[in-house]
Structure 1
Amino acid sequence: MERVVLVTGANSGIGLALCERLLTQDSQVRLCLACRNMQRAQAARAALLASHAGARVDLLRLDVGCASSVISAAEEVKARYAQIDFLYLNAGIMPNPSVDIGAFFKGLFSRNVINMFATAEGILTQEDRLNSDGLQEVFATNLFGHFLLIRELEPLLCRPGHTSRVVWTSSSNARRSAFSIEDMEHRRGTEPYSSSKYASDMLSLVLNRHKNSQGLFSSVICPGLVMTNLTYGILPSFFWTLIMPVMWLIRIFTNTFTLTPYNGAEALHWLFLQTPESLDPRAKYHSLTSGLGTNYTQPRQMDIDDEMSEVFFSKLLQLEKAVRRKLSERNADDKAYQKYVYEIE
């Protein structure tokens, strides 16, 4: 039986590199590229088919930052497929990143340079905003939209006698200090990206507690420092031109500088080959690259508070109900308006 793999954010970077690696590993896999920009999704599909003629690569319009888009896309998925074997939650945003240039250059010539590049701790902030659902955009895109997608696809993920996998692309920037259970959307902070990635770490752990018995297993990966559009947006292009030689030099001394999307997808690909029962639910699986360019995966324990993760899960379920109620009211208003327009015409 073919394995169905759905990848969010699959039209570029780590997501596209993962799709290429999966088709190389298993030409019979059925891929579904779930993307917001369909023009770029079509280009990604064409590139995959150019190197893997005959591969089954489907497209799905999905904006994980919009609840109505998630629900519509999930309905389409349920109409297409009988089951989902792997759900790679890779889409993410980091809007309006701001770097403390003084702290950056100070760190560049200090013993903390590797940690600074690997985690951006102390130098990177973002400006968030509300989306059309009234949620913080980073939280909605990086975390809640994916949570809602899992909830919508539970009939395909939790099937008797069937094992499914959910894999989150987290970050070394996921820090407990950036997350507050009283402000889980990070409305009052300046590090929404870090907060949302720590939230995904917590959610993965609690999903295993609640869903392993139903055949659903969740894992978290860290791609390392990868040069993608997300990364390039942090600093002006001339800065990257200046510091890229330094970064390649640093990679000789650290294994977290994966740098390329292919290398960053190492842990995602590695998990595709593992049995879920053999994995540690409390581990984050890191993509690593040696100074000589050898890729490998290594588990590292996450700093997760069990009680807080359960409270967080409960809050997400409450938020889900509120968002669904708001969507229902919005749909009712739209139908009433359409009826009114029809009657006056």
Structure 2
Amino acid sequence: MPSPTPTESWDVRRLPSAPGRHVLVTGGNAGIGYFVAEQFAGTGATVVLGSRDTAKAETAMASIRSRVPGARVRALRLDLADLSSLEASVEALRLDRLDAVVLNAGVMLDHPPRRETHDGHELMFATNHLGHFALTRWLAPLLAAAPAARIVTTGSFAAKSERLDLDDLQSTRDYQPKRTYARSKLAQMLFALELDRRLRAAGSTALSMVTHPGGALDSLTPSRPPVHIRTTSARLRGLPAGLLVQGKEAAAWPAVRAVLDPAVAGGQLWAPRVFGLRGLPRPAPLWDHLTDTTAAARLWDASCELTGVDPSSGLA
């Protein structure tokens, strides 16, 4: 497993130019995903916002264009909870290659009851993990066509204290929303690292890495009306928390660097510098349970069975 190494200085406000590159951001219409997309747009890359809500995607694109003159941004209808729709969504991209995908979209439920997709999968596990797992399979030919594609998975600090129950991946026996969410994010992170191992074994030029955004609060997030509106009172209330966490604009930095920095390696975890909660992005040690290759391989096999696809197909 690669260990963190010193990298050259990185200016989050002066990103390298990336004209001609194509980047897909799932969940790019709101939250951290919106700021990932806005920052990529500023590099001259063509940014695709993957969203199940077309109206919200249109609003987000208008906001990006108002801040980034000449932004190359488009929307793609993408419902990660509907596995049968993903192949058609990828075909609708109409691209001959994809330089990067940021697997960022997610669902977090706060209260029971347990909900399922029409495929019969628990909603958070299905959207956060299985949907991205299957999407990567359909994107594989486009990613393989790029000279050095990057697959960046957004994890979560919530996953640090959780462990997968490989015999109950969909929380059928013990459904606790916060735990189920954290486990779905842990599954995403294990998938990303297992994907990179398989890419390396196949001799692929594509890289897969993991990021986590640290602590990201709306009250510390700059306004992007109507996508996000921060009132003066909310900003003032959030100031004390700014000593420990950050807003969603800064929370986007690890994913943006993971795509654009040539020094980033596959299999790395990128996170905020200060206790993993705030600050500039840096490579961080993998959490102990993220190095469990047996669990990751078992999760991969189970995910292939549940989705009917294998993401490493076509990426070599």
The one of 116, 121, 142 equivalent to 1:130 is: 116
C-alpha distance after superposition, 1:163-188 (max 9, x if no partner): 11111111000146342111122222
Runs of at least 5 residues in structure 2 that lack an aligned partner in the other structure:
1-18, 220-231, 310-316
1:284 equivalent to 2:275? Answer no
SS, match of residue 163 in structure 1: coil
Deviation at 1:319, TM superposition (A): 1.6
In the TM superposition, 1:143-158 aligns within 5 A as: 143-158=129-144
Contact in 1 for aligned 2:80/2:127 (Cα 8 Å): yes
SS, match of residue 18 in structure 1: helix
Matched residues in 1 for 2:180 and 2:47: separation? Answer: 30
Between Structure 1 and Structure 2, how many residues are aligned?
272
The one of 281, 285, 289 equivalent to 1:300 is: 285
- Give the equivalent residue in structure 2 for 1:67: 83
The one of 36, 39, 43 equivalent to 1:18 is: 36
1:193 equivalent to 2:181? Answer yes
Contact in 2 for aligned 1:221/1:287 (Cα 8 Å): no
Cα 1:250/1:50, change in 2 over 3 Å: closer
Matched residues in 2 for 1:228 and 1:73: separation? Answer: 30
Aligned amino acid, residue 193 of structure 1: Y
In the TM superposition, 1:320-331 aligns within 5 A as: 320-321=307-308
In the TM superposition, 1:185-334 aligns within 5 A as: 185-189=170-174, 190=176, 191-212=179-200, 213-228=203-218, 248-252=239-243, 254=244, 257-258=245-246, 260-275=247-262, 278-279=264-265, 281=267, 283-288=268-273, 295-303=280-288, 304=290, 305-321=292-308
Cα 1:219/1:294, change in 2 over 3 Å: closer
- Give the equivalent residue in structure 2 for 1:235: none
Taking only the aligned residue pairs, the percentage that are identical comes to 27
Matched residues in 2 for 1:228 and 1:187: separation? Answer: 32
Deviation at 1:269, TM superposition (A): 1.6
TM-score under structure 2 length normalisation: 0.78
Higher helix share: 1
TM-score under structure 1 length normalisation: 0.72
SS, match of residue 313 in structure 1: helix
C-alpha distance after superposition, 1:279-331 (max 9, x if no partner): 251x42113469xx853434231222111111111111122229xxxxxxxxx
- Give the equivalent residue in structure 1 for 2:100: 86
Aligned amino acid, residue 11 of structure 1: N
Deviation at 1:56, TM superposition (A): 1.5
Matched residues in 2 for 1:176 and 1:309: separation? Answer: 17
For the aligned residues, what is the CA RMSD? 2.8
- Give the equivalent residue in structure 1 for 2:59: 43
C-alpha distance after superposition, 1:171-208 (max 9, x if no partner): 00014634211112222231211010110111011101
- Give the equivalent residue in structure 1 for 2:313: none
C-alpha distance after superposition, 1:72-114 (max 9, x if no partner): 201212xx1111111011100111x15xxxxxxxxxxxxxxxx
